[in-house]
A and B are shown apart, each in its own frame.
Chain A
Amino acid sequence: MTKFIAKRILLSLATLFVILFILFLLLQFMPGSPFNDEKLTAAQQAVLMAKYGLDKPFFIRFWIYLQNVVLRGDFGISYAIKKDMLVSGIVIARLGTSVRIGLQALLLGVSLGVLFGVISGSKRNTWMDSMATVAAVIGVSIPSYVLALVLSFVLGYKFRIFSITYQVDQPLWSSILPTIALSFFVMAQTTRFLRTELIEVLASDYVKLVDAKGVARPKVILRHGLRNAMISVITILGPLTVNLMTGSLVVERVYGIPGIGSLLVEGIQVNDYNVIIMIAFVYSALYIFVNLIVDILYGVIDPRIRVAKGG
């Protein structure tokens, strides 16, 4: 098990390195740099280039870049959003809000998804199942920004229950709408996946044997059905995280949340590359981290992996 985890961590680090390299490579090709400003003279441009170290050979630049990133977490300075400020400072300051709202959405979505999935999978072909199935297919189909727009229009603007935008002084209350908007897909996807898994598990021989033991139905479903089905549900945490990140870009924009999602969109619009690269890196790292956790969790939960064969 320890060996397995060590191997996974090593692979994760290797992937991160490759990603950093690709990001750096892309950085070289990004068009429309702020230094192309026509008002600048050639001399001014050269000064800027030298200042940012953009005139040295590629691999040397990457080596310097790598050292900065690994040793100091330094992704360079912002060209446009907050001129000359360290990118890492800007990103880290806004990371907390994004992660918090993301986790809120994950928690809400997964809990509701498990609830609906269990109801749907164990009461197959009932009206409750049909309701959950319809809600779930709508949930995976409607983009989160559409939901964000609808929620802020109806609950924020028409009925004025929540504020239309995020308020820094009310971090919880004003994050309710974005959390709901983000969690809907998570909920729907969890419901769908769990339903399929649960139906399969409940039809398995071992659940039939539990049934034959005369165990009461709720216990059969929760103790044996859900437990086994959840092992597979853990695997969708990775894809769900990507979805939350994607959703956060647009949802943060709709609600004006000062998170890294909206920062990335801002960075894209003003071509602030270092900001873009760092956030892309943070996203990748988060994704790889979640996948690592999933692999480890999988091993912890499933005795077939946790306990070595034989003995």
Chain B
Amino acid sequence: MKENRILEVNHLDLSFRLGNEVNHVIRDISFHLNQGETLAIVGESGSGKSVTTKAILGMIDDNGFLGKGEILFRTSRTGKEDEIVDLTKKDKKYMQKYVRGSKIAIIFQDPMTSLDPTMTIGKQIMESMLEHKKVASKKEAMAKTIQLLDLVGIEQPEKRVRQYPHQLSGGMRQRVVIAIALACEPDVLIADEPTTALDVTIQSQILELIKDLQKKTGVSIIFITHDLGVVANVADRVAVMYAGKIVEEGLASEIYYDPRHPYTWGLLSSIPSLDGQDEEIYSIPGTPPNLIDPPKGDAFAYRSEYALEIDFEEQPPMFQISDTHFAASWLLHPSAPKVDMPLVLAKRIAAFNERRSQE
């Protein structure tokens, strides 16, 4: 593993047993997370992005099982040099004791249901500090909790710690969930659609908060979302997932200004533009394929306007576009016909570029 990487997923397979059938939710995916960066994993629901994070946390349901592949994680140890562990080889006890909450933390989508309704928020934040022995006493835990609440932008933290979740608004609850995630100063923070369930105005506040916290703490972030628009200002790099595979990966600028995979085109076209001047919002036709019997070739071909015959026969390899930009589409093969991205998208990117040069 390269020096600057904190997490690396290599050729991971993950399936779920459903009666006599097997659902291949993740099919041979590889990606990495650099120290201190934000990686956005983008895809429709069912593309396997959330399950990937569950695998990293060792929280897969009982009917799920890993196939081949590894999840390498750089574990910092006080006073010693870093150790690289393969999380797929570790048992549940290890994951609970040494990884979840303490090294890798997660924020879930819906703050309304993420907090225990019968416990004060103070206790819920303190719980993981005490569990992982990050503090010496309850008193210290309380002091740290109040600091944390302050850090995530909750006013009157001394009063809030004694309150129950139902006394807080959705935005505040998500701040509490973020405080819980940061309680043990984790190295990696997974944000699983942290803004989807929130109002638009609150959404941008939470995004700002996450960006701000990264600056202050240096935490590396995996940001899961179905909406490329949400992460435009947050992500350093973007990985686009479809049907259990990563179809395109690159720096944020490369994905937004030079997308290559038809699926990424579709996702970008479906972002409503801020000025609202667009004729209509595009949506990709159809639904993701059934992964109990995954399609042979490019899984997106069945919904794509740009499908080639070979797409139905053979899996496209990852074509390299730049040092950092990769895409798995037969359109990038030298023999493929020249195909342009949809006009709407091209126009939009041109407009972006223009605005960028003006600024």
The reply to whether A212 and B59 contact each other, CB–CB distance below 8 Å, is: yes
Any A CB within 8 A of the CB of B166: yes
* Per-residue contact bits, chain B 106-149, to A (CB 8 Å; 1 contact, 0 not): 10101001111111000000011001100000000000000000
The reply to whether B117 and A212 contact each other, CB–CB distance below 8 Å, is: no
Of residues A205, A206, A210, which shows the largest number of chain B Cβ atoms within 10 Å of its Cβ? A206
The reply to whether B118 and A303 contact each other, CB–CB distance below 8 Å, is: yes
A255→B108 CA distance, assembly (Å) = 57
Any B CB within 8 A of the CB of A208: yes
Any A CB within 8 A of the CB of B96: yes
A197-220, CB < 8 A from B: 204-217, 219
- Given the contacts A209-B177, A215-B128, A227 and B118 also touching, CB distance less than 8 Å: yes
- Given the contacts A205-B113, A224-B116, A303 and B166 also touching, CB distance less than 8 Å: yes
Instruction: Report the count of interface residues on B (CB-CB < 8 A).
Output: 31
Q: Which residues of B contact A211 (CB under 8 A)?
A: 59, 100
A211→B101 CA distance, assembly (Å) = 9
The reply to whether A210 and B127 contact each other, CB–CB distance below 8 Å, is: yes
- Given the contacts A307-B164, A309-B167, A311-B163, A210 and B59 also touching, CB distance less than 8 Å: no
A205→B192 CA distance, assembly (Å) = 12
B130-188, CB < 8 A from A: 131-132, 163-164, 166-167, 177, 180, 183
Q: How far is the CB of B278 from chain A (nearest CB, A)?
A: 35
- Given the contacts A216-B131, A303-B164, A209 and B96 also touching, CB distance less than 8 Å: no
The reply to whether B118 and A209 contact each other, CB–CB distance below 8 Å, is: no
The reply to whether B116 and A206 contact each other, CB–CB distance below 8 Å, is: yes
Q: Which residues of B contact A97 (CB under 8 A)?
A: none
A212→B106 CA distance, assembly (Å) = 7
A contacts with B: majority SS = helix
Contact of A214 among B110, B132, B164 (CB under 8 A): B132
The reply to whether A303 and B117 contact each other, CB–CB distance below 8 Å, is: yes
A307→B119 CA distance, assembly (Å) = 12
The reply to whether B117 and A304 contact each other, CB–CB distance below 8 Å, is: yes
Q: Which residues of B contact A307 (CB under 8 A)?
A: 163-164, 166-167
Q: Which residues of A contact B115 (CB under 8 A)?
A: 206, 209
A304→B118 CA distance, assembly (Å) = 8
Q: Which residues of B contact A304 (CB under 8 A)?
A: 117, 164, 166
Q: Which residues of A contact B215 (CB under 8 A)?
A: none
Q: How far is the CB of B85 from chain A (nearest CB, A)?
A: 15
Any B CB within 8 A of the CB of A55: no
A-B contact count (CB 8 A): 85
Any A CB within 8 A of the CB of B52: no
Chain A residue, CB-CB nearest to B186? A214
A204→B114 CA distance, assembly (Å) = 8
A66→B164 CA distance, assembly (Å) = 47
Chain B residue, CB-CB nearest to A212? B106
Contact of A206 among B96, B105, B114 (CB under 8 A): B114
Chain A residue, CB-CB nearest to B116? A206
Q: How far is the CB of A225 from chain B (nearest CB, A)?
A: 10
Any B CB within 8 A of the CB of A31: no
Any B CB within 8 A of the CB of A12: no
The reply to whether A214 and B116 contact each other, CB–CB distance below 8 Å, is: no
Q: Which residues of A contact B110 (CB under 8 A)?
A: 205
Q: Which residues of A contact B59 (CB under 8 A)?
A: 208, 211-212
Chain A residue, CB-CB nearest to B113? A205
Chain A residue, CB-CB nearest to B183? A213
Q: How far is the CB of A208 from chain B (nearest CB, A)?
A: 7
A301→B118 CA distance, assembly (Å) = 8
- Given the contacts A224-B119, A302-B118, A212 and B105 also touching, CB distance less than 8 Å: yes
What residues make up the interface of A, taking CB atoms closer than 8 Å to B? 204-217, 219, 224, 227-228, 231, 301-304, 307, 309-311
Rank and list the top 9 A-B pairs by shortest CB-CB distance, nearest first: A214-B101, A214-B100, A213-B128, A213-B101, A205-B113, A303-B164, A206-B116, A212-B106, A209-B114
Complex A-B: 12 CB contacts under 8 Å: A206-B117, A211-B100, A213-B128, A213-B180, A214-B95, A214-B100, A214-B132, A215-B96, A231-B118, A303-B164, A307-B163, A309-B167
Given contacts A208-B59, A209-B177, 16 further A-B contacts (CB under 8 A): A205-B110, A206-B115, A209-B180, A212-B106, A213-B105, A214-B99, A214-B131, A215-B96, A215-B131, A219-B131, A301-B118, A303-B117, A307-B164, A309-B166, A311-B163, A311-B167
